[in-house]
Amino acid sequence: MIQRNDLCWCGSGKKYKKCHLLSDQAQLIEKQKGKGGRVKNGLIKTAEQIEGMRAAGAFNGELMDYLRPFIKAGITTEEINTLTHEYTIKHGHTPACLGYNGFPKSLCTSRNNVVCHGIPSPSERLTDGDIVNIDLTTIVRGCYGDSSETFFIGNVSDEARQLVHVTAQALILGIKAVKPGAPLRAISEAIEPFVKSQGCSVVHQYTGHGIGMKFHENFTVYHHIDRDCEPIVLQPGMTFTIEPMVNLGKYEVVTDRVDGWTVTTKDGSLSAQFEHTLCVTEDGCEILTLTPSQREKNIILNVEGKYYD
């Protein structure tokens, strides 16, 4: 696929972005429309909306940094929920998870074989050797920021450590695939082959999503290669999450029949997840769920003191 800074295919000697890029994108967009693909139709955010989402995302990053010292052996997931709720309210914002479709807490805490939507509990205490995903979503001035990280608790197994780093790298690869003119499916095509090459699997049932003035908007962002992926061409101003859930075993999952929320691996294997909210830009993408300090230091993820950039 020709890149923006490559010489144009027409032989003019100009860079592609200065020559046929716009006309090629226009033709691609019209072609996708003819196939039922959606390109705009409310998918493109205004500069004001993006600024609001940037504020929500920055707070999410700040909240994660605030929680980081507390995520260690001995704390209960209910205590993490209380810290999250009180810090969010103190700063005048709203925890988006609380009450969303009946969800009872202010964040999701997914431990070991819990894939996602784990409900904080006073009876669930983090212990040495655990891994736990902390999934935060915040509403700031009517805009949503959504991000998550998986933490090591004390001394984890080599398998757990490898799984978490594979998942972090999967998110980085997905982010690098985002650029204007690329198909939405480029994200899954970057993530799943890598994950499989590392002996792990990508969860199919749960995906990324459009986000903005609502928690879930517009379209689905697959992390696994699927022919049902919507024929969307990425354009500047589109905002969505990438949040691969990666299992050490097989990709199948089950949902708890009692609480209706907690999703676990079907085979009982460990699962990990990382997530950021992104905005497509003119030359790639911006990660909205970063603090100013993280942007300055070019830190995308912090995994056991290992920075991904």
pLDDT, tens digit, for every residue of 107-133? 999 999 999 999 999 999 999 999 999
pLDDT at 14: 76
pLDDT, tens digit, for every residue of 47-64? 999 999 999 999 999 999
Mean pLDDT of 142-149: 97
Reply yes or no on whether the pLDDT at 31 is more than 70: no
Reply yes or no on whether the pLDDT at 41 is more than 60: no
pLDDT at 7: 82
d(CA 264, CA 25): 41
pLDDT at 40: 46
pLDDT at 37: 45
The per-residue pLDDT of the chain, averaged, comes to 91
Q: What does pTM read for this prediction?
A: 0.86
State the CATH class of domain 33-308.
alpha beta
pLDDT, tens digit, for every residue of 149-180? 999 999 999 999 999 999 999 999 999 999 99
pLDDT at 223: 97
pLDDT, tens digit, for every residue of 254-299? 999 999 999 999 999 999 999 999 999 999 999 999 999 999 998 9
Reply yes or no on whether the pLDDT at 245 is more than 70: yes
Write out the DSSP string of the chain.
---TTSBPTTSSSSBGGGTTHHHHHHHHHHHHHHTT--SSTT-BPPHHHHHHHHHHHHHHHHHHHHHGGG-STT-BHHHHHHHHHHHHHHTT-EESSTTGGG--SSSEEEETTEEE-PPP-TT-B--TT-EEEEEEEEEETTEEEEEEEEEE-SS--HHHHHHHHHHHHHHHHHHHT--TT-BTTHHHHHHHHHHHHTT-EE-SS--EEE-SSSSSEEEEE-SS--TTS--PBP-TTBEEEE--EEESS-S-EEE-TTTS--EEETT---EEE-BEEEEE-SSSEEESS--HHHHHHT-SEEETTEEE-
Which sign, positive or negative, has the C-alpha torsion 138, 260, 251, 38?
negative
